[in-house]
Structure formats: structure tokens, C-alpha cells
Structure 1
Amino acid sequence: MTTRASLATTGLGLCALFFSAAAFVPSPPSEPAPPAVRPWTARWISVPGASPTGYGVYHFRRRFTLGSVPGAFVVHVTADNRYQLFVNGVRAASGPARGDLFHWRYETVDLAPLLRAGENVLAAVAWNFGPDAPEAQLTSRTGFLLQGDTAAQKDVDTGPAWVGRRDDGYEPLLLKPEEIRHQYYVAGPGDRLTAARHPWGWERPEFDDTGWAPAQAGPPGSSREAFDAPSPWMLVPRSIPAMEERPERLERVRQASLRVPEAFPRERAPFTVPPGTSARLLLDQGHLTTAYPELVVSGGKDATVTLRYAENLWVPGTGDKGQRDEVDGKEMRGLRDVLVADGGRERLFRPLWWRTYRYLELAVEARAEALTVDDLRGAFTAYPFTRKARFEGGGPELDRILDVGWRTARLCAHETYMDCPYYEQLQYVGDTRIQALVSYYASGDDRLARNAVEQVDDSRTAEGLTMSRFPTRLPQYIPPFSLWWIGMVHDYWWYRDDPAFVRGRLPGVRSVLTFFASRQRAGGSLGPMPWWNFLDWTNAWPTGSPPGWNFVTGWGGPAPGAAEPGDPNGASAPLDLQLLIAYAEAADLEEGLGSTTIAAEYRQAAARLRAEVPRLYWEERRQLYADTPARTTFSQHANVLAILAGLAEGQAARALIGRVLSEPDLVPCSIYFRHYLHAALNRAGEGDRLLDQLGPWRRMLALGLTTWAEKEDPSRSECHAWGASPNFELPRTVLGVDSAGPGFRRVRIRPFLGRLTQVAGSVPHPRGEIAVSLVRRGVGLDAEVRLPEGVEGELVWAGERRPLGPGLTRLRF
């Protein structure tokens, strides 16, 4: 469903977009609908002589005349790899939203607010990152496509009437391994712009383009359902809103080799680097951000200006980061952009893609002419989530944990969810499941989650397995992540009222389980598995794979106590338990929306595993589940999953989670897997212990982190949104707000206040908001609960259940 939004205010000019940029709108029905554009008659265009797959930045322009300004002037626009569209010098759109060739997104934009009577100019820049593109960037070949919505707009369709030229000023600036401390990095190159070769003002209507060549017309666009599609891009409408973009100032100068105005960088305060000198400034944003840095310079012909970006500084000669606020005696490493000045006035440099940084280094090498730095600012960008959840009464520390978690969640959400914004920018299933839950509880906006569930489904192979991450140019497979994807589908079914969308995912769920079923032994346990069977980043498991399933060779070797790589007798309790959970979740989905026959088959498969797992892994002496049938290694993971799989209930579950927390030799859950540890506390009825399990988050705060790290030090990434799980667990467990049925149509309030005596808060709901206020009186409780219209539920306290109806309910226990 396409609806017209109000005028966009996200930095894209004043054009009216056909999607809301910020406000939460309940997810529309997921009934299949024809594409908005059919047929496509505009042609993909490129610059004559340009490499179809190599690095390149290209400009296109189209002049046209209007007798009067129309009430609407709608166009559909996309590019490979990416584009920005300007109308009469004002940026109107950018994209496309990331996808794959079989689901290539286009944006629909109403340009009427930017048009005028007489001559108008559409101008676009499209670029191809080339062979060093971000891993998340799929591509066929360089191209730009724009089509008017009706006959009245057909005059602007891309084709030979457009003109274009290559921008010879741009070059990719590849990141050297030593610049990133040899960490895994796949987020694309920096930009080097030689200003003297750049056509300044190319987007403005008065720019002289008479020397530009007619664009080279390629095949017409084609919708995904087209018969004998003439082009490789199967076009589908964008399903998420425009990214938020707003001004953002750096906070302060931490180091400087020359005197700068006291107001810089909090305000525009120009300063000059004299001829033949160099200058270096270390600037501090105060917190991690994702933003387009915007550097404005004047003069300084041939001066080199370098911007370098880092999440943190490093202790030289070590892998240590230390206290993140400290800068003395540390070194700066990371991605950089370079501008070679041309001597012009007020030259604005803004990289093609946003950057991630807390610390930004500005280095200038002036030549024969002084260079003036007129300004250096940022334009924050991320998915336009709005924080709607409230949690009050936990004290300043919990407030900080929630604030940092929200920032982490935001910086890891753009056109897709992503594991981290600095190093990879890839949508991994394990991370994304937690991110989606945070989105449901903190914002109520499920559009990015729907996009993620669908994109992972799109990645499935003929064998039935999903990729571990998608979109991605390099296929990677983590079989356990396919099981977590089933969990994502179940979460969406449980917390969002959109059964048609979930029903459309059932074929994918069945395919995944068919893949696993073919690899089960007679008793139900899984045999050796292909690919990378990652479970958690923990020091005992160098590859992240638990004992018994570590079949990765040439990377860290087998984990201590694990079966040798490729051992045909390898078996793993954590992975068998994860499969058991997936069977149970899939059975729920089938019973609710699909086939009761298939549901019964899944229940039977789950029952078989439920009997086999204790036989293989339960160690009676220790009253714990071991990691392998050898019963020589034990982890929190196996026992947490046993609780979540229902192998321990009631008092047995409480006793088991107690041993999980007290036994010192268990392999501990990292920040990532503590989400499941916290879920097991809730399920076991031991949620009062949750507040005591936030040690990793408290330690990160003490180290000065402003977002949650991938894992505790030593850690690569400073921003991994799986660490934002407290933004889900605190309202779900402490405040007690949870779904009690599909679609959140029934609510269960079961609070675990721990040491707290008074809490209040709210959680967005598909039909409105759930608001809760709780005051504990010894073992009693006073409660006020407000549910949305049409929603009922119950409040559970000390084993007693009381009904809740729509509107306000006051209870005393």
C-alpha cells in the first residue's frame, strides 16, 4: 500500500515522499499486490565509455520545461550501485534501499514542491563502488533509471535525452590492513576527491552542461514479474521509509597543533592553516555516531585535507583500547577520506557514504597557499526510529544502560539492520533477531524487521538453508542462524498482528527444517553439519562454534574438548537444543496459520529430540547438560537452551538456572548470548535475578563506551546492537510486559522487580500503548495497567492471576 506523506524534513529537500520518514504507522496488510510500476518504459542509462563494473562516479542531467507547476509530479527512481537525485539544485531523494538483483528497490517521489514554471533541471549522481564495494552492496553494472508515473511525466524518463559525464575527481581510498589493526573490515573504501577535476555546481540549474555527452541508453526497466525481463534488476517498490538525516555538531577539540577558535567545532568558526605548514586536530563527538561529515574549505590550492574516523583510540603497540574517554598517549587508526583542494571558495566535501566515528582526526598539509577551514560538521543518519518505550524507577544506572542501548540500536539500523556500523554493515540473522525485538518494544515500528525477515527468506538456497547474512556479495552460511530465523518469524507472529505476512514465510520455515531433518540421526540428534556452526563469541570457542560442531579448519583450531574437525561422531547439545526450539516454534506457526498435519509432524520431531537430548547430554552427577555426549565440557549455553526448550520446568528450571549462574567452570555466555540467558531467567520464574546479571553493561559504562561492544575487551567493534537486549529484557521482565498470544492480542504482565520497589513505564503495542505502574509493599503489590482498546490480558504476581481488560485497571495483591 502506498500513501502520500507530509513534506519530508529529513535532509532530502522539500519533496513529498511516498513513505513516512519518521512517524510510526501500523504495518499494512501483507496481501500480495502488483508492483506500483508496470510496465517500465524508461531505459537504464550510463555514461558512454564507462566501465560497467569498475569504480566510478557519474553525473546525469535533464532539462525540461513546464507551463505551470503541477499538483503532483511523481517519478520512480533507482540506480546501481547508488544515487542522489536533485531537482533545481535541491536534493530530493537518495537510494536505492539495499536489496538483491531479484528484489532491486526503487523509490517513488513527488517532485512537485521543487518544480517551477519554465525551465527545470533534474540532476543525479550515480556511483559504483567497484570491486572494493561494501560486502552488503550487490550489483550487476553501473546504471541510473528514472521514470515518470503517468504520461504527464514521461518527458523526464531516462534515455538519450539525458546527458552525462564521469567525475574524474573521485578515486577509491582503500583501507590498509595496518590502518585497522588487521581487523576484518568489509564496509567499503574511503573517498579521495581532487577538487580541480570535480564539476562544482553540477546539480544547479544554471550549470553549463553543453559539453556533456548524451547518455548511453541500455535496456528498459523491468518489474520482478516481467516476462523475459530485459534487464537484470527485478524492480520492486521500496518498503521502508527514507533515512533520517539531521545536523549534528562535534563536541570538542581534544588535541590541536595550532590555535583554533574556542567555539570550534560546536559552532561554525573558521580558522586558517598558513602556507607551507601542516596542522592536526583530534575532535571528539562525545559519543559514537553514524553521519555524513561535511567539511567546508576555502583557498589552499593543492592542499591535502585528510579526515580519519575511529570508534576509539588505541594504546600503541598493543590491542588495548583502555578507557575510551582518554586520548593522551594513544594513537588514531581507521578509515579516511582525502580532499585535495583547488583554491575555490566554500568547497563542501561530503563523502558518498556515511561514516562511523566518535573521534575524527582533521589533518591539513598546506602548500603555497593558505587554506581556511570554514566549517566541519556532521549530518546524522540512521533508520528513522522514534523511541516510544518508557522505563522509570530503575535509577540513573539503568537509565544510562537503556540510553546507550537505544543509541546502539539506532546506529546499527539503516537501510537494513546491521551487525556493526563501522566494520561490516551486514544484516546477520543472529544479531537481527535481537534488534527486531528491541524495535518492537522500544519503538513499535516493525517495518525494518519485516524487511529483514523477508530479505533473509529471499536468501534461501535450493537446499533450504538461508544465508547467515543478507544482502551480501559473498555467500556465507551459518546453519544455526537459519534456526534463529525461524525464531524471528515466530517473534513477529507473537508480537505483531500481521498473520498474512507470517503465512507467506511458512514455505521458507519448512525448507529450513527439511535441510536439518535430512541431517538428523535415528534418535533425532544432528550429525556433522556443513558450513560454519557459530553459536557465540566466547574465549573457550575460538571460532564461535561449540564443542562437537566445530568443523571449521584453518581458523583457530578445534575448541578445547571438542571433537576434531570433521569428526563423523561430532554432536552438540546446544545445536540439538536449538533445533528442538525451532521445531516447537514452527509447530506453533503451522497450527496458527498453516497445516495442522505439518504441525503434528513437527511436534513429533520435537518429542523425539526431547527424549534424546537428556539421554545424550544430561550429566546426573553435576545435574547439568554437557556440551557433547562425552560429557567433559559444560557451558551456560547448553543449559540456558534446555530451559528455553522446556526440558526443565517449574522447580527443576529454577534449580537449573541457579546452577548456571553459580557453577564457576561453565563456559559463560558473551554479551550476545546473554539475551538468551535473560530469557531463560524469565521462563524459569527467576526474573528477579536479571538486574544482577548486567555486569558486562556496567563494566562497559565504566570504560567510557557510548555504545555496546561486540563483546567485552578485547573487542573489535564498539557498536553491536545485540548488546541492546536490555532494552527488550527490562520492560519484558522487570516491568513484566509480554505477549500472551499471537499478534499481541492478549497481554501478560508478570513483573520481576528484583531490588526495585517502584517502577513505571510503557511499551508500544500494535493497537496503541501498554502502560504499567507498580509499587511493591513487602510481598504485596499495587498495580495500575492501561491496555489499548480491544486488548485483554492478565497480571501475575506471586502465583496469583488477575484479569485485565481494555483501558485502566487498578489492582492490589
Structure 2
Amino acid sequence: MDNRNGAKWIWLPHFQDADPKLPGKFVLFRKSVSLPSSPTTPCLIHVSADTRYRLYVNGVSVAFGPCKSYPQRWFYETIDITPHLHAGTNVIAAKVLRFFPAQTGSTSMMKANVPGFILWGEVGGVKVVTDENWLCHEDESIELKSRAEWNYILGPPFLSLDERVDLSKAESNWHSSDSCDLSRWKPAVPAVPPVKMMPVLEPWKLHERPIPLLPEVPQKFVGALRTSDSSPALQEWTDLLLGEEQHVVVQAGQTVWVEIEASTLTTGFLEFDFSGGTETEVAILYAESYEKDLNVDSSPFPLPRLKGDRRDWQNGRLYGNEDHVVLHNSDSEQSKRYEPFWFRTFRFIRLSIVTQSTPLTIRRIAYRETHYPLEITTKVDIPAKLNGIWDTCIRTLKLCMHETYEDCPFYEQNQFAMDGRLQLLFTYQLSRDDRLARKTIHEFYASRRDDGLLETNYPVSMRAINIPQFSLFWVLMLHDHMMHFGDKGLVRRYIGGVDGVFQHFEERVNRDGLVGAFDEECWAFVDWVQEWQGDPRGPKGIREMAVPPIYKRTGVAAYNSLLYAMVLQRAAELCMFIAREDTTREYRQRADALNEAVVKHCFNGTFFVDGPGAEEICEHTQVFAILSGATTGEEATRLMQRTMEHKSMPRCSYATKFYVFRALSKTGLYEDCFKGMMQTWYKMSEQNLTTFAEDDVGFRSDCHGWSASPIYEIVAELHGVRPARPGFGVIDLRPRRKLLEAAQMRFSIPKGVTSVQWEKDGGIELEAAEDIDVEYLPPGARLKKIMCTRTGQRTSLE
């Protein structure tokens, strides 16, 4: 962004941008602006920071950012602050979290080698830019907990956001126009002093935020589940949570705890209002579910966990991350608010309170729910049991969508290519909003390494272990987008990255024609499978886990060749779409050669073994042999039948069941196996999950985006609406009437709104825009062309 009106990146003078113990610090900024009258025209300001900020105008929060990114594409937000301005003195202020560059911080948040805050715009005709006239001060009341305090029961410390807060050190009214003590505040200094005669650019290349701001919607908890023997009573807590004008008082010298619940797992900003309670200590633990009590509070290494009924508060225990707050408030009437800087993921919260010399009054406990504002235009009318699965899948997907797609909101908040491929595809079944999808595709493209691979998860603040196969799933992202949106410009922009990924695999094809071992520092991850669990404390750490045993012995797994062959075929279709016919032929020839090699070296006449010389077989190898075309027709169908009937082979977990569904569809066995396959999701529902879990091996995350795959099954398989050509200009309609006796669905595609419906023993009716063709219609189906209204590239649902 060049038109910054002279705004500078600024920072706190003499700031120590490192600490051997802490992951980062908070810095406060403020600027007073005097206006003769309340503005009547929009007052737009643009703002960014490294690493994160929350912006206030006259004490009201107006923005949270910047949108996750990387320094070469660092985003800024544009906000209209007009409703928050008034005649007289106005205060624009920001609270900025800086993660130190020498530590990973939260792994999905990147940072440059220096900190900074920048803002520019016009407010009521007054130019407002960050410069040396801004005041700043280190927020000494908040300390992010160090990794040394991490509880490894929760797994690796991907997040560094737990807080220790001393409210006696908090700055009063620092972000409002009210009087506040500024005696210790200092004028800001340039964050990046210019170097004379050197062609040096700022470390951040600013770009406008490509996705909408995330809403923060006020919500209430639904009640208290249990409390300590000490008063207050359970009903008092519930009345407080429901907003019944009930305050809860904890008397002096007491130790009290209470466990409260939200209606579902959620991601939100917590709000606590306290008064009184001098020297009171409050611990706030956030948890996804109740689980088996491990009889320890914390551990320096992971422990086996077991989850059943996620709401079994009578027998279970809550494990999660914690914030700690110390209150210093001798005035029993003055309210003190505590709000953690970053959103928390929770369904249950345990509040532990230790009072000292004065009573503590809890006046309010609430939260503001936040996630990407996905507008869902797909509407389905399906049986109640399946509708419950549909709703839970949507909630699962939404909670894994913020400023990036996330693997899980509770533990990592990382954007992974394998997870992301499915999350993008599920989004397309629900909405025509592909803004977050485009951002994801570009970010992985921007992560390209010099060996041709993409980073496994990105953005990422550290040099991380690479999973080479995940780069192939990025190619599938491109293919999915092509089929649903038909954007040739997007394909042309990124096709060069495809060939780089393929070259990495091609260089590892061995004399047998199979993909061989990856580099020693890579992780040949396939899936979370019980039989493939290793010990992460071993010499190779996590790289011993989730890998077929044959790969550990020989460095060759049939899965890697079959996945590569399948993706080559999808990439050939990408190249055909943009008229690169020579590359199309080349990719198909490579895929054919890989399939032939797998059949020659890995097929024992009954099953595909996991690698040359292996006796082991797994579901993954059979599924991808079918999807790659290594086996076709009746042979593929018989192989899939034998696979489904086998009693003991390692099975695909939640992460890869999507591909089992695809193999069943391809071999004509989908309808026979659908109900059995869906037992995975029905069981989770019976266990009181309100989102779908990561897997049933490690019992870690209760919300993982890849587990929302029934979204695709309901839209594309049960209702049978799929793109037959790029851009969805041609529909392939093959509904599963044996599984849905009656159905109705409205589905938005680039050319308009389609609907498909049928009644029991009645015909199928498809309504589609006039310029949409249909490649396949079931016998007896009727196509009705309709007029539709469009606004630009968006479809107006009228």
C-alpha cells in the first residue's frame, strides 16, 4: 500500500525484542484527535501490526487483526470508525501483541525481524497517521506463560496464548477519552529507521485484507454443571450465566470452584466482570469435553487419554489450557473486566477462585462467538438423524475457519494442506464464497521450498517437519476449485507450482518405478491408525508415528505411488483446462507408469500389499489403488468388496474416510456400505459431541475440519449434484434414492441456483439456470430451466 499519507511503522523506544522465558509482550498505543463536531461522512482508517492488535476508538473495540499472513503479503484492515466518534477529544488506541522472533510463539502467526504498528486515514477531515506524536507504553499487567509451564497432557505447545494477569498493574482508561495517567507513557519511535543510501524495504509488504472481518457475536453460557461444597449455590451461578441480574458473591477466605457449559463447543472471546476481592486469585480452565481422569493435573510428556460421553460431568474431568488472574480491587463497587486477548476454544470452563481479605463479586460471565462469516446458501430437507449430522458437520467446519482454515481450533490453529483440501471442498458444498479458499491456495503456493515441495502447514513461524504427500493435496485444491468455479486465471497462476511438486516426487522414483524414500528430515505421514502408532519420544520423534511399517523398513510405501498417480491424473485435467496438451499427456503417462509398477510389485492376487516385499495390507492401499486406476472395473469392485469384508486390516481414520467413500462410489458399492460407514459419525453423536473429532486413536481434538466429510456425501452423493465440467456449467445428477426416499435441496453454483427434489415413488425434478447443461439425468428425471438473477459473480437467491 503506497498511499499511506506519510504513516510510519512505530514502536516503543528501548523495547527488548527477546526474552529467554517469555514468548512475547504487549504494548499499548494511543493518540488523541480533537474534532469540532461529530463526522457525518465515513471516516476510514487502515491499520496493521506485527504481530497482532486490537483497535479501540473511545474505549470501544472496532477491529482485531491483522489477518494471518506472511511478511511478503502482510495484511491491513480498513475500518469505518464514524459511529464511534463525537465532537471534542477522541482517543484512537491499540493493544499490540508482539511475539519475539527468536521463539515460535503461536506457530500459525508469523512475524518479521522487528515489531511495528501502523495506522493511517482521515477522521472528520483530520489526517491521522502513526508517527512520533503517538504515545506508547508496555502493558505490564499481562504476561504470556512460557513453554516451560506447558501441560503436555494437551500435546505439543503449538499455542503460546495462556495469560498470567495482575490487574493491579493494568492501565485505567488508557483506550478511552476519560482521564488517565500518562506520566509513564513515551513518544513512539520509528520501528524501521531508514538506512541512508541503502535499497532496503520495510519487512512487511502491505496488502488489503482479502476476507471479511470476523464478527464477534454476544452469547451466554447455558448453566453451571457442578460446584464445590462451599457457597455460592449452583443455581446462583446458573442465574448469573443466564443474565438474570444475579451477582455471585464469594466470601473472604474461601476456595471455590464451579464448572460451566456453553450449548456447544465454540470459539469466542471471554468476558469477566469482577468487583472487590482484594488479592483474589482466579484460574480459568477451558476444555473441549469431560474425559477420563488421569489422576494428575499436568505432565511433562503426553499421556494416553480416553474420551467417551463428552458431557459426563459426574465421572469425567476437564483438561485444558488456563489463564490466571490476580485481582487488586479494594473498592467493592468498582468493576474490573478481564478479557483474554486471543479467542478461546471451549465447551466447558472451570473457574477456580481463592479469596483473601475481602469478598469477591462476580458480576458477569459471557463471551463473543467468532469464526469466519460463511454465508451458507445450500439448504437441505433430509431425515432428522441425518440432519443432526449435517448441522454438526457445519459447526465443525465453521469452528475450523477463522483467518485461515484450521486443523483444530483448540490445540493448533494451523492451516494444513491435507486438511485444507477437504475443508475447501466442503465449503464449496455450502457456499459460493471462495475468498478464504483463494487465500489458502495462494498461501501454500507462496510457501514453495527450493526442493519443489510446499510447506506442510502455512503460514508457520518456524522451520517445520515437512510431510511431502501434503503438497499433492494442494494440487487437489486447484482441481476442486477448477471444477466448482472454472477460473482459468487461477489455474494459470499456480500451475507452475504443480510441476515443482511433481518433480520432487519424480526424482524419488526408484528402479522399480515406485516412489522411494523421502529426505531424512521429512515425515512420511499417511494417517492416524492405531496399528501404526509409534513413540514420539523415540530417536525420530513424531516421524515414527502414522506411517506404514513397510516404509519404516524399506523407505517404500505403495500409498505414496498411488496417491501421486491419482494426483497426476487430476493435474492432467488442470492442464487440459488451460490447453496445455503436451503436459496433459506427460502427466497421464507418468500416472500409468506408476500404476503399472504398483501392480507389478505390490499386488499379491488378492490385495495390494503396503509395499514391495510386504505382507501387511491396509485399507489405504486398496482405496488409493482404486482411485488411481491401478485397478478398474469388476476387479476394482471385487477388491473393494474384499476390503470392506476384511476383519483385521488397518482402517482409514476420520482423516481419510472421505477417500473410502470415493472408492465405494467409483466401484458401485456406495449404497450398500453407506449406513455402515456413517456409524463413525452416529457414534460420535451418541457420545454427546457437538462437533466431530480428529480421530479415535489419540482422543485429542474434539473438533477437526477433515471430519466434516458428511457435508460432501449429503450434497454430492445422496442428492447427486456434482460438476461434470469445470465451472459447474454442466451438472452430473445421480441421486441415491435408495438412501433418501424423499429429498429437497437448493444449491448455489456460479451460474445460478439449482434445486433438486423428489418424493417417494415420484420422479426427480432438477431446476437449473437456463444456460446450464446436464450431462447425466437419471431415467424418469425432469429438467426444468429457470431464470436466475446474478449480481456480478455472485448469485442472488430470489
1:233 aligns with 2:210: no
Q: Secondary structure at the match of 1:806?
A: strand
Q: Secondary structure at the match of 1:642?
A: helix
| Cα distance in structure 1, aligned partners of 2:288 and 2:146 | 18
Change (3 A) 1:127 1:728: same
1:754 aligns with 2:738: yes
| Cα distance in structure 2, aligned partners of 1:383 and 1:805 | 35
1:99 aligns with 2:69: yes
| Cα distance in structure 2, aligned partners of 1:400 and 1:552 | 44
Structure 1 position 339, deviation (Å): 1.7
Q: Secondary structure at the match of 1:701?
A: helix
1:747-801 alpha-carbon deviations (Å, 9 max, x no partner): 1111123343112212221233221112353xxx61111113422214443xx59
TM-score normalised to structure 2 length: 0.90
Change (3 A) 1:208 1:599: same
Residues 244-393 of structure 1: pairs in structure 2 closer than 5 A: 244-257=215-228, 258=231, 259=233, 260-261=235-236, 262-267=238-243, 268-317=245-294, 319-343=305-329, 345-393=334-382
Structure 1 position 254, deviation (Å): 0.8
1:83-109 alpha-carbon deviations (Å, 9 max, x no partner): 011122222211001111122111122
| Bigger mean CA offset, 49-58 vs 150-159 | 150-159
> CA contact under 8 A between 1:61 and 1:122: conserved in structure 2?
yes
Q: Secondary structure at the match of 2:428?
A: helix
1:775 aligns with 2:752: no
Change (3 A) 1:151 1:656: same
Change (3 A) 1:561 1:199: closer
Runs of 5+ unmatched residues, structure 1? 1-35, 546-550
1:56 aligns with 2:25: yes
Change (3 A) 1:365 1:190: same
Structure 1 position 240, deviation (Å): 1.0
1:5-49 alpha-carbon deviations (Å, 9 max, x no partner): xxxxxxxxxxxxxxxxxxxxxxxxxxxxxxx54467311111122
Q: Secondary structure at the match of 1:236?
A: strand
1:188-236 alpha-carbon deviations (Å, 9 max, x no partner): 23112211110122111123354221112223899xxxx9443211222
Letter in 1 for 2:225: R
Change (3 A) 1:653 1:769: farther
Residues 607-756 of structure 1: pairs in structure 2 closer than 5 A: 607-620=592-605, 622=606, 624-688=607-671, 689-712=673-696, 714-756=698-740
1:498 maps to what in 2?
487
1:135 aligns with 2:107: yes
| Bigger mean CA offset, 576-585 vs 52-61 | 52-61
1:562 aligns with 2:539: no
1:189 aligns with 2:154: no
Residues 86-125 of structure 1: pairs in structure 2 closer than 5 A: 86-125=56-95
> CA contact under 8 A between 2:417 and 2:473: conserved in structure 1?
yes
> CA contact under 8 A between 2:535 and 2:541: conserved in structure 1?
no
Among 160, 176, 192, the alignment partner of 1:219 is 192
1:540 aligns with 2:499: no
Structure 1 position 270, deviation (Å): 0.9
Residues 16-31 of structure 1: pairs in structure 2 closer than 5 A: none
> CA contact under 8 A between 2:619 and 2:643: conserved in structure 1?
yes
1:720-759 alpha-carbon deviations (Å, 9 max, x no partner): 1110000111211111010111111111111123343112
Among 553, 576, 580, the alignment partner of 2:540 is 553
Change (3 A) 1:673 1:559: closer
> CA contact under 8 A between 2:27 and 2:97: conserved in structure 1?
yes
2:403 maps to what in 1?
415
Q: Secondary structure at the match of 1:146?
A: strand
> CA contact under 8 A between 1:106 and 1:237: conserved in structure 2?
yes
Q: Secondary structure at the match of 2:626?
A: helix
Identity within the alignment, %: 28
Structure 1 position 67, deviation (Å): 4.1
1:442 aligns with 2:465: no
> CA contact under 8 A between 1:786 and 1:808: conserved in structure 2?
no
| Cα distance in structure 2, aligned partners of 1:56 and 1:704 | 39
| Cα distance in structure 1, aligned partners of 2:697 and 2:685 | 13
> CA contact under 8 A between 2:13 and 2:189: conserved in structure 1?
yes
1:80 maps to what in 2?
50
Structure 1 position 444, deviation (Å): 2.6
| Cα distance in structure 2, aligned partners of 1:579 and 1:804 | 38
Letter in 2 for 1:341: L
Q: What is the CA RMSD across the aligned residues, in angstroms?
A: 2.7
| Bigger mean CA offset, 156-165 vs 680-689 | 680-689
| Cα distance in structure 2, aligned partners of 1:617 and 1:544 | 28
Among 115, 135, 147, the alignment partner of 1:163 is 135
| Bigger mean CA offset, 680-689 vs 452-461 | 680-689
Change (3 A) 1:290 1:147: closer
Change (3 A) 1:555 1:170: closer
Structure 1 position 555, deviation (Å): 4.8
Change (3 A) 1:599 1:87: same
Aligned length: 755
| Cα distance in structure 2, aligned partners of 1:805 and 1:235 | 48
| Cα distance in structure 1, aligned partners of 2:272 and 2:114 | 28
1:267-316 alpha-carbon deviations (Å, 9 max, x no partner): 25211001111211011113211111111101111111111111112322
| Cα distance in structure 2, aligned partners of 1:647 and 1:563 | 20
